[in-house]
Amino acid sequence: MSDVAFLLLIFIMLVALISQRAEGPIDRAEARFAVQTDADRNLEIWIDRDGGLHIDGRRASLPEVEDAVAAAHVGSPETRVHVVADRDTAYRHVSAVLEMLQILEYRAVSLVVRSVE
């Protein structure tokens, strides 16, 4: 019986060590490698540093962006949405776009960053 208790104690200690997460500083505005996607099936949402939204080179409001994403999905469900934000953009602006995509239950979303060579 003591052997079983000892093995159980060792198991619990190992599981506790495995589930720990290392926290560190977050500075993720750059990427170490790039992933190529099919440009014909991408919809890019640009967010400038003031929070202005742009689709296809024209300024748009959040409801207009939502309509464009919904129309792109209806036209081609494999369309990938790329969110491109300026490095100095306040996170609340990016969050608003991501919340809108979450409400639409859009799954193919990429956050585009600059590649570091």
CATH number of the domain enclosing 98:
3.30.420.270
In a domain, 79, yes or no: yes
In a domain, 69, yes or no: yes
> Does the pLDDT of residue 117 top 80, yes or no?
no
Report phi then psi at 81, rounded to 5: -95, 125
In a domain, 12, yes or no: no
Domain that holds residue 99: 31-115
If one counts the domains in the chain, the total is 1
In a domain, 66, yes or no: yes
In a 3-state reduction of DSSP, which class is residue 97? Answer: helix
In a domain, 1, yes or no: no
In a domain, 2, yes or no: no
In a domain, 82, yes or no: yes
pLDDT in tens, 21-63: 444 443 445 555 555 555 566 888 888 888 888 887 788 899 9
Report phi then psi at 115, rounded to 5: -85, 135
In a 3-state reduction of DSSP, which class is residue 86? Answer: coil
The count of other CB atoms within 10 Å of the CB of residue 85 is 21
- What are the structure tokens assigned to 94, written together? 């990016």
pLDDT in tens, 61-95: 999 988 988 888 887 778 888 888 888 888 888 88
Let me know the angle formed at the C-alpha of 63 by 101 and 67, rounded to the nearest 5 degrees. Answer: 70
Q: What whole-number distance in Å separates Cα of residue 14 and Cα of residue 23?
A: 20
Residues in the chain: 117
| Mean pLDDT across the chain | 76
In a domain, 75, yes or no: yes
